[in-house]
Amino acid sequence: MCGCFVSTLDEFSSGRSRGGGGGMADRQEQKLKDAEKWLKKADKLTKLSFTRWAADWSEATPLYEQAGLVYKTAKLFEKGKHCFEKAAIGQERLSSQWTAAKHLETAGGLAKELEAWPEVADLYKRASEMYMFCGKPQPAADALVRGAKAIEDSVPDDAIRMYLDSCSFLEDDGREQMAFDTYRAATNLYIKQQRYADAASMLLRWGQAADKCKAIQSQCKAYVSAILVYLYNQDLKAAEQCHNDCSQVDAFLNSEQNQLAEKVLQAYRDSDGDEVMYVIKSSKTLPHLDHMIVRLAKQLPVGGLKPVIGPSNDDLDENDLT
Amino acid sequence: MSVIDILTRVDALCKKYDKYDLDKQKGDLTNTNGDQFLKLYTVIEADIQAALEKSNEALGEKNRAVAVTLNAEVRRQKAALQKELPKLQRLAVKKVKGLSKEELEARPDLVLGLAQRVEEIPDGTALSRRPANGGWAGGPRNEIRIDVMSPDDTLRPEHYAETEESKGFRSEYEYRRDKQDQGLDHIADGLATLKNMAGDINEELDRQVPLIDEIDTKVDQASSDLRSTNKRLKEVVTQMRSSRNFCIDIILLAICLGIAAYLYKYVTSRSEATSGVEKDAGMQVKASSAAGTRKMCIPHILNLSVEVVGKAMAELIRSDLYQTFGRRRFTSKSKCRTGSWNVPKSGTHFKLASTSECEYTEHGLQKNVGSGSASFVYDKAGSSAFLMDHLEHGICIPHSTFRLLRW
C-alpha cells in the first residue's frame, strides 16, 4: 500500500526512482522526505508575500493532501493534522465543501490520537457544518456522532451536546430512524455519568422518534427502559407518571414490554423486593433491552427499594404504611 | 425347501381356501346331514378359536389403541357367541338319528363346556372377582374399572383412600407435568428471542428501504449520464474518421508510396544499365564483325567476363586482319587467359587488363600470327573509352583506338 502511494505521487516528485533500493525503512524515509518537500512547497504557494499576491490553492491543495496521507500512515499525527487542515481550507477555497469536510474529519481523527480534545471537537463540528452547507444533514449528523464518540471519555459534556445536535439534525430532516443509534449512545453516556433523569428523558425522546417512524418494538423498549431508569433512580412517582403517559400509546399498551412494566410497578407498589427481583429475573423481554438498562434492572431492588412514599434505603418494612 | 415345509404350506393353503371347495362343503353337509347341533357346534367352536386368537394378539399388542380395538372385537364376538349358546342348548336335547345314547347325553355337557370356554376368553376387561377394594384408581398395572362402581362404594371411607399405585401414579403425573413445564419454558425463551430478533430485523429493513431507493435513483442517474456521454463520444470519433478526412488520408498515403516507388525505380535502373552492357557486348561484337563496324559496348564493370573480352578482342583482331590483308581465309584460335582486375577505389577510372592469344593462320600457312592484349579504361562519368593495345609479334597491326559509347 505504501508502494502504491509512492507510485501515484511519483508524478509530482521530480524524477526519483528508488525502486528496489533499500528496505522498508529506506522507503519510509524517502516518503517522509517527499512529504516534507511537498509541505514546504505547498506552504510557499499559499503564503502571501511580496511577490505573491494571491495564494495558489489549486496547486497547493493536492500537495497538502498527499503530504497529509504520508504523515498519517507514518503516524506523525501533528503534522498530518496540520496538513489536512490546510488541505481542507484549500478545498473550501476551491468551493468543494464536501472534500473539505472529509479532510476535516480526518484531521479530527488524527487530533484524537493526539488527545487534543478541544481541537477534536472543533474539527468535527466544522466538518459537520460543511456537510450541512452542502445540504446533507445525514453526513453532518454522522460527523457529529463520530466526534462525540471520540471525546466522550474525556469531555463528556461536549460529547453530549454533539449527540443532541446530531439528533436534532436528523429530526429536522425527518430521518429519525437513523438517529436510533445516536439516542442509544447518548443514553449510555448519561447513564455512565449517572444522570438518570436525563437518560430517561432521552429514552422518551427516542420513543417519540420511534413512534414517528412506526418502529413499535423500539418504541416499547424505549418506554420500558425509561420506566426502569426512573425506578433505578428511586423515583417511583416519576416512573408511575411515565408509565401513565406511555400507556396512552396503544402500541405500548398491548405490548409485552408493558406487561413487564406493569408487573414491576405493581411489585414496587406492594413494596415487595423479592417480587421485584423475581419479576426481573423471570421476564422474557428484559434481556432484549439495551445492555446498560439490563444491568441497571438487575440491580433494581438493591438499588434501593423504598416504600411508596418513604425515604428509607434499607430493606423493606412492611409495616411502614406512610 | 424341504418336503415337510411343502406339506405344511399345502395344508395351510388348503385350510385357507377350504371355503371355496364346494365339494368339501357339500361333504360337510352330508356329513352332518341334518345334525344341526354338530354344525352349530363346529361353527361356535371355530368362532371361539378365532376369538381366542384375537385376544392373544391383543394381549401381546403394545399399542394400546390397537389393543383396545381388538379387545372390543373380542367382546363383540363373545356376546354373539353367548347369544348362540341357547340355540345350541335347544338343539342339544333334540334327538338325532344315528347318534348313540351316550352321545346324546353328553351333548348338553358339551354345550355347557362351550359356554364356559366362551366366558373364559380374555377380552381385556376380565378381572378376577375381587372384592371392591381399590376401586377408585388402579395403578397402571391393573386396569381401571370405570363401570364397576356401585353407589355403595362411594360411601365407604376407603374408597377415596390412596393406594400405593395411586400415589405413584400421582407423583409420576406431577413429575411429568413439571418436565413439560420446563420444556415449555425453554421453548418460550427461544421464541421470545426469536420475536425480538425478528422485530429488530423488521425495523432495520424499514430503515434501509429509503436508503436503497435513494441509491437506486442515483445509480439510474449515473447510468443515463454515462450512456449519453458514450453516445457523444461515439459521434465525435466517427466525425474524426469521416469519409472526407478518410480520402485525404488515402491521397497522402498514395503520394508517399509514389515517392517511394520513384526512388526505388531510380536505384534499380542504375543497376540495370551496368548489367545490360554485358549482354550487349556479346551481341554487338558479332554484329560488328558481321557488319565490319568497330563499335563495341563495354560490359558492366562487375559483370565483365574474360571470355567476352577475349572473344571481343579476337574478333577485332580478325577484322583488322581482314582489312589489312583482305579477305583471305583466316582461321583463328583464341585462347583466353584470365586477367587481373584492378579496381582502384578512389579513381574515376579503372584498368582492366586481359590478354588473349589468337593464332591466325593464313590459309595454308601455319604460323602464329600474333597475340594481343587489351586494356579497358572505364570512365565513371558515363562514357567510357575502350583502348586496345595490340602487342603483336611478327605482324604489325596498327594501334587503334575505339571510342564506344555506352548506353
Sheet (strand B384-388) strand order: B330-342, B349-362, B370-379, B384-388, B400-404
Q: For residue A104, give its domain range.
A: 58-173
- Supply the angle between the helices A156-173 and A137-151 in degrees, to the nearest 10: 160
- A217 touches B: beta carbon within 8 Å: yes
Pick from B188, B189, B203: which is nearest to A218 by CB?
A: B203
- A269 touches B: beta carbon within 8 Å: no
CA distance B179 to chain A (A): 18
**Looking at the domain assignment, is residue A227 inside a domain?**
no
- A218 touches B: beta carbon within 8 Å: yes
CA B161 centroid distance within chain: 81
Residue with cell 493536492: A62
Let me know: does A67 contact A38? Beta carbons within 8 Å.
yes
Give chain A positions within 8 Å (CB) of B189: 284
State the pTM of this model.
0.50
Q: What is the Cα–Cα distance from A207 to B182, expressed in whole angstroms?
A: 35
Closest to A225 measured CA to CA, from A201, A248, A241, A247: A201
Give chain B positions within 8 Å (CB) of A178: 207
The mean-pLDDT minimum among A16-20, A216-220, B251-255 falls in: A16-20
CA distance A216 to chain B (A): 8
CA R_g for chain B = 74
- B182 touches A: beta carbon within 8 Å: no
Q: For residue B111, give its domain range.
A: 35-125
Report residue A317's pLDDT band, with 50, 70 and 90 as the boundaries.
low
Backbone phi, psi, residue B374, to 5°: -130, 150
* Domain at A88, CATH number: 1.25.40.10
Helices in B93-163 by DSSP H: which ranges? 101-120, 151-155
**DSSP letters spanning B216-281:** HHHHHHHHHHHHHHHHHHHHHHHHHT-HHHHHHHHHHHHHHHHHHHHHHHHHHHHHHHHHHHHHHH
Average pLDDT of the residues of chain A? 82
- B216 touches A: beta carbon within 8 Å: no
- B200 touches A: beta carbon within 8 Å: yes
Pick from A178, A218, A284: which is nearest to B189 by CB?
A: A284
CA distance B170 to chain A (A): 28
**Closest chain B residue by Cα to residue A210:** B203
Tens-digit pLDDT profile for residues A82-125 = 888 888 888 888 888 888 899 888 888 888 888 888 888 888 99
Which of A183, A216, A217, A252 would best serve as a mutation to test chain B binding (most B beta carbons within 10 A)?
A: A217
- B192 touches A: beta carbon within 8 Å: yes
Inter-chain CB proximity A285 and B192 less than 8 Å: yes
CA B168 centroid distance within chain: 69
Backbone phi, psi, residue A235, to 5°: -120, 80
Q: What is the Cα–Cα distance from B326 to B32, expressed in whole angstroms?
A: 174
- B224 touches A: beta carbon within 8 Å: no
**Looking at the domain assignment, is residue B59 inside a domain?**
yes
**Looking at the domain assignment, is residue A255 inside a domain?**
no
* pLDDT for res A117: 84
Total domains present in chain A: 1
**Looking at the domain assignment, is residue A27 inside a domain?**
no
Q: How many residues does chain B have?
A: 407
- B324 touches A: beta carbon within 8 Å: no
- A257 touches B: beta carbon within 8 Å: no
Q: What is the Cα–Cα distance from B274 to B407, expressed in whole angstroms?
A: 9
E strand or H helix at A19:
none
**Looking at the domain assignment, is residue A166 inside a domain?**
yes
Size of interface A-B (CB pairs under 8 A): 27
Give chain A positions within 8 Å (CB) of B192: 256, 284-285, 288
Let me know: does A225 contact A293? Beta carbons within 8 Å.
yes
Pick from B188, B189, B206: which is nearest to A215 by CB?
A: B206
- B198 touches A: beta carbon within 8 Å: no
**Looking at the domain assignment, is residue B178 inside a domain?**
no
Tens-digit pLDDT profile for residues A147-169 = 898 888 888 888 998 999 899 88
Inter-chain CB proximity B203 and A217 less than 8 Å: yes
* pLDDT for res B68: 85
What mean pLDDT do residues A167-174 have? 86
3-state helix vs strand vs coil in chain B, percent to 5: 65, 10, 25
3-state helix vs strand vs coil in chain A, percent to 5: 75, 0, 25
Give chain B positions within 8 Å (CB) of A213: 206-207
Pick from A214, A216, A288: which is nearest to B196 by CB?
A: A288
Please check the confidence at residue A201 and state whether its pLDDT lies above 70. Answer: yes
Cβ-proximal residues to B92 (8 Å cutoff; 6+ apart), any chain:
B37, B107, B108, B110, B111
Grid coordinates given for A267: 411489585
Inter-chain CB proximity B206 and A285 less than 8 Å: no
Q: Residue B203 burial by CB count (10 A; 0-12/13-18/19+): exposed, middle or buried?
A: buried
- A288 touches B: beta carbon within 8 Å: yes
Inter-chain CB proximity A285 and B196 less than 8 Å: yes
Cβ-proximal residues to A109 (8 Å cutoff; 6+ apart), any chain:
A150
* pLDDT for res B316: 64
Give chain A positions within 8 Å (CB) of B200: 217
Total domains present in chain B: 1
Q: What is the Cα–Cα distance from B3 to A32, expressed in whole angstroms?
A: 106
Cβ-proximal residues to A207 (8 Å cutoff; 6+ apart), any chain:
A218, A219, A222, A223, A226, A246
CA distance B259 to chain A (A): 43
Q: Where are the beta strands (DSSP E) in B324-390?
A: 330-342, 349-362, 370-379, 384-388
Pick from B188, B202, B210: which is nearest to A284 by CB?
A: B188
**Looking at the domain assignment, is residue A70 inside a domain?**
yes
Q: Residue B186 burial by CB count (10 A; 0-12/13-18/19+): exposed, middle or buried?
A: exposed
- A178 touches B: beta carbon within 8 Å: yes
- A193 touches B: beta carbon within 8 Å: no
ipTM of this complex: 0.74
Closest to B203 measured CA to CA, from A184, A200, A173, A145: A184
- A214 touches B: beta carbon within 8 Å: yes
Closest to A144 measured CA to CA, from A154, A66, A127: A127
- B69 touches A: beta carbon within 8 Å: no
Which of A257, A288, A293 would best serve as a mutation to test chain B binding (most B beta carbons within 10 A)?
A: A288
**DSSP letters spanning B13-30:** HHHHTGGG-HHHHHHHHH
Three-state SS string over B149-181 comes to: CCHHHHHCHHHHCCCHHHHHHHHHHHHHHHHHH
Q: What is the Cα–Cα distance from A236 to A253, expressed in whole angstroms?
A: 19
Grid coordinates given for B198: 425478528
Q: What is the Cα–Cα distance from B254 to B247, expressed in whole angstroms?
A: 10
Q: Identify any residues that bridge with B332 across adjacent strands, giving them in sequence order.
A: B360
Grid coordinates given for B141: 398395572
pLDDT tens track of chain B, all 407 residues?
A: 789 999 999 999 998 888 887 776 776 655 555 577 788 888 888 888 888 888 888 888 788 888 888 888 888 888 888 888 888 888 877 776 776 778 777 888 888 888 888 888 777 665 544 444 444 444 455 666 666 666 666 666 666 677 788 888 999 999 999 999 999 999 999 999 999 999 999 999 998 998 999 999 999 999 999 999 999 999 998 887 777 777 888 999 999 999 999 999 999 999 887 776 656 655 555 544 544 444 444 444 444 444 555 566 666 666 665 666 555 554 555 554 544 444 444 444 444 454 545 455 555 455 554 455 555 444 444 444 444 444 444 443 444 444 443 43
**Looking at the domain assignment, is residue A124 inside a domain?**
yes
What mean pLDDT do residues A205-224 have? 89
The mean-pLDDT minimum among A73-77, A254-258, B352-356 falls in: B352-356
Give chain B positions within 8 Å (CB) of A284: 188-189, 192
Whole-number Cα distances in Å, A111 to A63, A116, A160, A161, B5: 20, 6, 19, 19, 100
Let me know: does B277 contact B307? Beta carbons within 8 Å.
no
- Pick left, alpha or beta for residue B34 (phi over 0 → left; psi -120 to 50 → alpha; otherwise beta): left
